[in-house]
Amino acid sequence: MDAKVTLSFDKEVIQSAKEFAEQHNISLSRLTEFLYRQITSNHYKALDDLPIADWVNAVAEGEAEYHTRPRQLKKSDFYEKK
């Protein structure tokens, strides 16, 4: 069963990814699903451990930047700290 997800990316990254997907006759959604499946099917300890395909390096400009957000507390964790 498919589920919808909303993601935000740099416009240039999206354009490059769309062009790549079109050249390989696959939808951007299925390409993204494939990449997530590849990433989650192995046991990587850190983002730096992920293998980078040649095409990723070809569409990337400069060093990769990983933006993370602080982990949100569950309600139970919040009340336990008070």
> Which pLDDT value is given to residue 46?
72
- Between 16 and 80, name the one with better pLDDT: 16
**Which CA distances in Å does 40 have to 23, 57, 68?**
25, 20, 18
Q: Is residue 71 part of a domain?
A: no
Q: Which of 22, 18, 2 is nearest to 10 (CA)?
A: 18
Question: Residue 18: pLDDT band by 50, 70, 90 thresholds?
Answer: very high
> Which pLDDT belongs to residue 71?
67
Domain that holds residue 45: 11-63
Q: In Å, what is the CA distance from 41 to each residue of 10, 34, 38, 50?
A: 26, 10, 5, 11
Please check whether residue 39 lies inside any domain of the structure: yes
Does the predicted TM-score (pTM) go above 0.75?
Answer: no
Does 20 fall in a domain? yes
**Is pLDDT at 58 greater than 80 in this prediction?**
no
Note whether residue 47 is domain-resident: yes
Task: Name the domain count of the chain.
Answer: 1
